[in-house]
Amino acid sequence: MTAPATIDLREYIRNIPDFPKPGIQFKDITPLLSSPQAFRSAIDQVADHFKGRDIDVIAAAEARGFIFGAPLAMVMGAGFVPIRKPGKLPYATIAQEYQLEYGSDRLEVHSDALGKGHKVLLLDDVLATGGTMKACIDLVESTGAQLVACAFVIELSFLGGRAKLSPPEVFSLITY
Ligand code: AMP
């Protein structure tokens, strides 16, 4: 099934004020996911944008990155590589620490999942401050793989996250 290209994905993003804490306007993607047409259209639009490009791996961080990353990999005929929180991956891992507002966190990828010769598209649902994607970029580049681009369903441009990222391309479907 191919979704109509005219579908307005913004109509499927719900704003939740003050979640998970006061002052944050949370972009809830669950209405988009529950609409077969909107979900399909989001995946197709990202796939169309990167059509014909030399990409063999889609990599994405848990949890919401997985929701879009796995179907995108299928549609693009690429593999999917999960980037996970500490202690979740069973085999040997490569890790990347990153700073949060308070303290730090860590992302991991299997040591044999990415390396020289892989051409990688990183994907996430939302680009906010850019900290999570920056950690994913550092992780992918530390494996020797080539990062082709970062893609997002939603970019919160007023938070300036894009300035933190230096891949060859940053692509967003919906910008606020
Ligand atoms: P970032 O600040 O770019 O590192 O964002 C971290 C993660 O939190 C992203 O991968 C998003 O999934 C999520 N996130 C951050 N801000 C929002 C928001 N306003 N609405 C929905 N998800 C968000």
Give the phi and the psi of residue 173 in degrees, each rounded to 5: -80, -40
pLDDT at 167: 77
Is 53 marked active-site?
no
Give the pLDDT band (50/70/90) at residue 77: very high
Confidence class for position 3, pLDDT limits 50, 70, 90: low
User: Structural domains in the chain?
Assistant: 52-175 (3.40.50.2020)
Q: What is the mean pLDDT of residues 75-87?
A: 98
The letter for the amino acid at 129 is T
- Residues enclosing ligand 1, CB less than 6 A? 24-27, 64, 124-132, 156, 161
CA distances from residue 4 to 42, 46, 104, 174 in whole angstroms, order as listed: 11, 14, 42, 17
Catalytic status, residue 155: no
Asked if residue 4 has pLDDT above 60, the reply is no
- Kindly name the residue from 14, 40, 53, 101 that is annotated as catalytic: 101
DSSP 102: S
Here the tokens at position 159 are 């938070």
Q: Residues 9-61: pLDDT tens digits?
A: 999 999 999 999 999 999 999 999 999 999 999 999 999 999 999 999 999 99
Output the average pLDDT for the chain: 95
Cα of 162 vs its chain's centroid, Å:
13
Q: Which helix (H) or strand (E) holds 32?
A: helix 30-34
* Token pair belonging to 63: 């949890």
pLDDT, one tens digit per residue, over 107-164 is 999 999 999 999 999 999 999 999 999 999 999 999 999 999 999 999 999 999 999 9
